[in-house]
Amino acid sequence: MSTHHFDSVMHIPKQMYVLVLAVLFSLVAGHTAAETGKPPDPEAAKRGQKLYDQYCQSCHGTNGVGEPSIPPSLRLPGYVSAPALDDSQHAWHHSDEALARVTLEGSQRTQRMPAWKSVLSMQDALDIVAYMKSLWSARALECQGPKHMSCM
Protein backbone atom coordinates (compact mmCIF):
# COMPACT_ATOMS: atom_id res chain seq x y z
CA MET A 1 0.00 0.00 0.00
CA SER A 2 1.44 3.37 -0.98
CA THR A 3 1.74 6.24 1.48
CA HIS A 4 -0.56 8.37 -0.71
CA HIS A 5 -3.31 5.74 -0.57
CA PHE A 6 -2.92 5.40 3.21
CA ASP A 7 -3.18 9.19 3.71
CA SER A 8 -6.38 9.45 1.69
CA VAL A 9 -7.97 6.56 3.60
CA MET A 10 -7.06 8.22 6.91
CA HIS A 11 -8.90 11.43 5.91
CA ILE A 12 -12.21 9.67 5.38
CA PRO A 13 -12.84 8.94 9.08
CA LYS A 14 -11.90 12.51 10.01
CA GLN A 15 -14.26 13.91 7.38
CA MET A 16 -17.02 11.59 8.54
CA TYR A 17 -16.36 12.61 12.15
CA VAL A 18 -16.69 16.31 11.23
CA LEU A 19 -19.88 15.61 9.27
CA VAL A 20 -21.44 13.65 12.12
CA LEU A 21 -20.56 16.42 14.60
CA ALA A 22 -22.05 19.07 12.31
CA VAL A 23 -25.30 17.11 11.94
CA LEU A 24 -25.53 16.49 15.69
CA PHE A 25 -24.85 20.15 16.46
CA SER A 26 -27.56 21.31 14.07
CA LEU A 27 -30.05 18.88 15.61
CA VAL A 28 -29.25 19.99 19.16
CA ALA A 29 -29.21 23.68 18.22
CA GLY A 30 -32.62 23.31 16.61
CA HIS A 31 -34.06 22.15 19.93
CA THR A 32 -32.49 24.87 22.04
CA ALA A 33 -33.35 27.94 19.97
CA ALA A 34 -36.02 28.87 17.49
CA GLU A 35 -34.97 29.80 14.01
CA THR A 36 -35.63 33.19 12.51
CA GLY A 37 -39.14 33.17 11.10
CA LYS A 38 -40.24 30.14 13.14
CA PRO A 39 -42.40 29.97 16.27
CA PRO A 40 -40.44 29.78 19.51
CA ASP A 41 -40.09 26.66 21.62
CA PRO A 42 -42.59 27.01 24.50
CA GLU A 43 -40.03 25.88 27.12
CA ALA A 44 -37.45 28.41 25.84
CA ALA A 45 -40.13 31.13 25.93
CA LYS A 46 -40.95 30.24 29.56
CA ARG A 47 -37.30 30.48 30.56
CA GLY A 48 -37.02 33.69 28.54
CA GLN A 49 -39.99 35.30 30.25
CA LYS A 50 -38.35 34.88 33.67
CA LEU A 51 -35.14 36.46 32.36
CA TYR A 52 -37.08 39.21 30.53
CA ASP A 53 -38.97 40.07 33.72
CA GLN A 54 -35.68 40.34 35.62
CA TYR A 55 -33.49 42.18 33.08
CA CYS A 56 -35.66 43.79 30.41
CA GLN A 57 -39.12 44.62 31.74
CA SER A 58 -38.10 47.75 33.65
CA CYS A 59 -37.43 49.54 30.33
CA HIS A 60 -39.26 47.51 27.67
CA GLY A 61 -42.42 47.11 29.75
CA THR A 62 -44.75 44.31 30.68
CA ASN A 63 -45.39 42.05 27.69
CA GLY A 64 -42.82 43.98 25.65
CA VAL A 65 -44.96 47.08 25.07
CA GLY A 66 -41.98 49.45 25.29
CA GLU A 67 -41.87 52.97 26.66
CA PRO A 68 -44.14 55.72 25.42
CA SER A 69 -42.50 57.90 22.82
CA ILE A 70 -41.44 61.32 24.09
CA PRO A 71 -41.68 64.24 21.65
CA PRO A 72 -38.22 65.55 20.65
CA SER A 73 -38.99 68.97 22.15
CA LEU A 74 -39.47 67.40 25.60
CA ARG A 75 -36.77 64.73 25.76
CA LEU A 76 -33.18 65.16 26.84
CA PRO A 77 -30.54 65.18 24.07
CA GLY A 78 -29.49 61.64 23.20
CA TYR A 79 -32.44 60.06 25.00
CA VAL A 80 -33.89 57.05 23.21
CA SER A 81 -37.10 55.42 24.42
CA ALA A 82 -36.95 51.65 24.91
CA PRO A 83 -38.77 50.23 21.88
CA ALA A 84 -41.60 47.73 22.03
CA LEU A 85 -40.41 44.15 21.66
CA ASP A 86 -43.82 42.76 20.85
CA ASP A 87 -44.81 42.97 17.18
CA SER A 88 -46.16 46.54 17.35
CA GLN A 89 -42.85 48.08 16.27
CA HIS A 90 -39.92 46.64 14.36
CA ALA A 91 -38.30 43.96 16.57
CA TRP A 92 -39.61 41.30 14.17
CA HIS A 93 -37.64 42.92 11.34
CA HIS A 94 -34.48 41.44 12.89
CA SER A 95 -33.16 37.88 12.98
CA ASP A 96 -33.02 35.87 16.20
CA GLU A 97 -29.23 36.17 16.11
CA ALA A 98 -29.35 39.97 15.76
CA LEU A 99 -31.80 40.32 18.65
CA ALA A 100 -29.67 38.07 20.86
CA ARG A 101 -26.54 40.01 19.88
CA VAL A 102 -28.09 43.35 20.94
CA THR A 103 -29.15 41.74 24.22
CA LEU A 104 -25.58 40.60 24.90
CA GLU A 105 -23.62 43.51 23.39
CA GLY A 106 -25.94 46.43 24.07
CA SER A 107 -26.87 49.17 21.64
CA GLN A 108 -24.57 51.73 20.07
CA ARG A 109 -27.56 54.06 19.68
CA THR A 110 -28.00 54.54 23.41
CA GLN A 111 -26.24 53.85 26.68
CA ARG A 112 -29.63 52.94 28.14
CA MET A 113 -29.37 49.49 26.50
CA PRO A 114 -26.50 47.87 28.39
CA ALA A 115 -24.46 44.87 27.31
CA TRP A 116 -25.65 41.89 29.34
CA LYS A 117 -22.88 39.52 28.22
CA SER A 118 -21.23 39.53 31.65
CA VAL A 119 -24.52 38.39 33.21
CA LEU A 120 -26.36 36.41 30.52
CA SER A 121 -25.22 33.54 28.29
CA MET A 122 -26.01 33.22 24.59
CA GLN A 123 -28.64 30.61 25.53
CA ASP A 124 -30.19 33.09 27.98
CA ALA A 125 -30.34 35.73 25.24
CA LEU A 126 -31.93 33.25 22.82
CA ASP A 127 -34.48 32.32 25.49
CA ILE A 128 -35.35 36.03 25.87
CA VAL A 129 -35.76 36.20 22.08
CA ALA A 130 -38.04 33.14 22.28
CA TYR A 131 -40.17 34.97 24.84
CA MET A 132 -40.30 38.08 22.64
CA LYS A 133 -41.39 35.94 19.70
CA SER A 134 -44.15 34.41 21.83
CA LEU A 135 -45.67 37.92 21.87
CA TRP A 136 -45.74 38.19 18.06
CA SER A 137 -48.54 37.40 15.64
CA ALA A 138 -48.30 34.55 13.15
CA ARG A 139 -47.73 37.12 10.39
CA ALA A 140 -44.82 38.76 12.23
CA LEU A 141 -43.26 35.33 12.83
CA GLU A 142 -43.70 34.39 9.18
CA CYS A 143 -42.21 37.67 7.96
CA GLN A 144 -39.43 37.95 10.55
CA GLY A 145 -35.97 39.09 9.53
CA PRO A 146 -34.98 39.96 5.98
CA LYS A 147 -38.30 38.60 4.67
CA HIS A 148 -40.15 41.54 6.27
CA MET A 149 -39.49 43.65 3.17
CA SER A 150 -41.39 41.23 0.93
CA CYS A 151 -44.30 40.87 3.37
CA MET A 152 -45.28 44.54 3.40
Note down pLDDT in tens along the chain; length 152 residues: 555 544 444 455 555 444 444 444 444 444 445 588 899 999 999 999 999 999 999 999 999 999 998 888 888 888 889 999 999 998 999 999 999 999 999 998 888 999 999 999 999 999 999 999 999 999 999 999 877 777 76
pLDDT of residue 152: 62
CA atoms of 92 and 37, how far apart (whole Å): 9
Assess if CATH 1.10.760.10 describes domain 33-150: yes
The phi, psi pair for 108, rounded to 5°, reads -80, -15
Query: Residue 87 CA to chain centroid, in angstroms?
Result: 14
pTM given for the model: 0.75
